[in-house]
Amino acid sequence: MTRSRAVPSIALAAILITCVTDIVSAWSAPFGAPHSAAGMSASGLTGWIFAEQAAFYRSLSGFIRAAKEDGAAIWELFGISFIYGVFHAVGPGHGKAVISSYLVANEETWRRGLVLSFVSAAIQSVVAIIVVAIAAVLLGATAKAIGLTVHLVEIASYALVILIGLRLLYVKGRGFLIACRELTWHQVPDLAFASPPAAGSLSAATFQLSERRPGAMAVRGGQCQFDGCTAHAHGFQCHHDHEHHESAWGHAHGPEPAALAGTGGWRRGLAAVVAVGLRPCSGAIIVLIFALAQDLFWTGVGATLIMGLGTAVTVAAIATVAVSARDLASRVAKSRAGLGMLAMRAIEAGAAALIVAFGILLLAGYMASEQLWMFTR
């Protein structure tokens, strides 16, 4: 392996290791080192970013007040909101890790990574606005009730992240196993296609199809097996959910990534960004309610949307880097048939496993990065 090829592989390995260390440290923190020590280790660039975002956040209230007196101050407020969004998203949360892992696992293009980042940030802002509009403006709910609502939405969001991760892990795990098998039976590739155990194929069909028409599809899966379709993996594709099966099975044949980025992929991607974006940013909720208390709800809405735009810029930048690293690794993998393909499948399955791990840690509260219900629960 030449140096230029080693670099992206090392990069990806490093990314995965960093993510895993994050998880491990998040996991061990409640039992081992006190949080304060890890938290206070912020120094240098990290410390600077955290100090800046805190300073920007605290200046928001002043700008919102100023906007009340002087209409022109609203532009300053929007400017600060944007910068705050950019800095804020560098910290934990905001789905950077989940989205990046998702993009790596799912062979998404960087363009799609950009769009998904922006959509998830937009959803995040809109959810915050909807929560405050309904709970505070319409119902006059207390902070306690709003905090509870946000907490429930959060739990739903994390549960969805886990589900999406599990689904990806299932698909990518199979891809990895098949790549393993192909590598073993490289001399007789035909055998590889005939080999997946019938039971496994059947459950695969049932699992993926149940999304649409559970009953009918399960039967179809059964028929398929009897029809002897399992003899060739492609047989599945003629029946249903074309695009999906390509990503589930097609990997075994190493198709062009472009072929995978089909139109149906948007739906999959959307599920991921909805799961991530569902959780509103606590800061946005507080800013909205503060603006509401100043009778400037719409100013708060504008600031929240612009904050989301800033968040999207950061998330998109990180997603783009993740996708580029993946693409480079993939280019290397292509030049090394067999092992290279296996490595790519392993990376994808690993990234899918990371999504599950992130989801579980978020759900368990070990990776929480902000809390809204402090003092008001």
Partner 1 sequence: MIKRTCCSCVILLLLLSVNRAEAHPHVWVTFHSEVLYAADGTMTGVRHAWTFDDMFSAYALQGISHAKKGQYTREELASLAQTNVDSLKEYGYFTYARADGKKLKFSEPVDYWLEYRNAALTLHFTLPLKAAVSAKTMQIEIYDPSIFVDFEFAKDKPVSLSGASQCLLTYDLPHQPTAAEQARLSQLDAVPLDASSSYGETFANRILVKCQ
Phi (first) and psi of residue 43, to 5 degrees? -150, 170
Looking at beta carbons only, is 111 or 144 nearer to partner 1? 144
Q: Give the C-alpha separation, 9 to 15, whole Å.
A: 10
If binding is defined by CB under 8 A, does position 335 make contact with partner 1?
no
For 194, other C-beta atoms within 10 Å of its C-beta total: 11
Looking at beta carbons only, is 210 or 324 nearer to partner 1? 324
Please say whether the dihedral angle defined by the alpha carbons of residues 290, 294, 297 and 298, taken in this order, is positive or negative. negative
If binding is defined by CB under 8 A, does position 18 make contact with partner 1?
yes
Which region among 13-21, 165-173, 271-279, 304-312 touches partner 1 (by CB under 8 A)?
A: 13-21
129-168 residues in contact with partner 1 (CB under 8 A) are: 136, 140-146
Find the shortest distance in angstroms from Cβ 282 to partner 1.
Answer: 5
If binding is defined by CB under 8 A, does position 29 make contact with partner 1?
yes
Is the CB of residue 183 less than 8 Å from the CB of residue 336?
Answer: no
Which region among 162-170, 198-206, 225-233, 280-288 touches partner 1 (by CB under 8 A)?
A: 280-288
The site string for partner 1 over 227-246 (x = CB under 8 A, - otherwise) reads --------------------
31-50 residues in contact with partner 1 (CB under 8 A) are: 32-43, 45-46, 49-50
- Helix runs in the chain, H state only: 3-28, 35-40, 44-69, 73-90, 96-105, 110-131, 143-184, 189-194, 198-209, 214-227, 242-249, 257-260, 265-277, 282-293, 297-335, 339-364
**Which of 237, 240, 244 shows the shortest CA–CA distance to 267?**
244
91-130 residues in contact with partner 1 (CB under 8 A) are: 91-93, 96-97
Which region among 54-62, 111-119, 160-168, 346-354 touches partner 1 (by CB under 8 A)?
A: 54-62
- Characterise 42 by phi-psi region: left (phi > 0), alpha (psi -120 to 50), beta (else): beta
Looking at beta carbons only, is 170 or 373 nearer to partner 1? 373
If binding is defined by CB under 8 A, does position 287 make contact with partner 1?
yes
Find the shortest distance in angstroms from Cβ 274 to partner 1.
Answer: 22
Question: Quick one: which of 77, 88, 160, 348 contacts partner 1 (CB under 8 A)?
Answer: 88
Looking at beta carbons only, is 83 or 143 nearer to partner 1? 143
Query: What are the tokens at 178?
Result: 């098949």
If binding is defined by CB under 8 A, does position 261 make contact with partner 1?
no
Looking at beta carbons only, is 212 or 377 nearer to partner 1? 377
348-377 residues in contact with partner 1 (CB under 8 A) are: 368-377
303-322 residues in contact with partner 1 (CB under 8 A) are: 317-318, 321-322
Which region among 164-172, 219-227, 231-239, 281-289 touches partner 1 (by CB under 8 A)?
A: 281-289
Find the shortest distance in angstroms from Cβ 126 to partner 1.
Answer: 19
Q: Give the C-alpha separation, 242 to 236, whole Å.
A: 8
Question: Quick one: which of 67, 116, 229, 285 contacts partner 1 (CB under 8 A)?
Answer: 285
56-85 residues in contact with partner 1 (CB under 8 A) are: 57-58, 60-61
Q: Which long-range contacts (CB under 8 A, 24 or more apart) does 200-208 make?
A: 201/225, 201/230, 201/236, 202/230, 204/174, 204/248, 205/236, 207/170, 208/241, 208/244, 208/245, 208/248
**Which of 261, 270, 217, 223 shows the shortest CA–CA distance to 243?**
261
Question: Quick one: which of 124, 157, 282, 311 contacts partner 1 (CB under 8 A)?
Answer: 282
| Residue tagged 């989205």 (tokens) | 99
Cα–Cα distances in Å, from 91 out to 87, 161, 189, 369?
7, 19, 47, 8
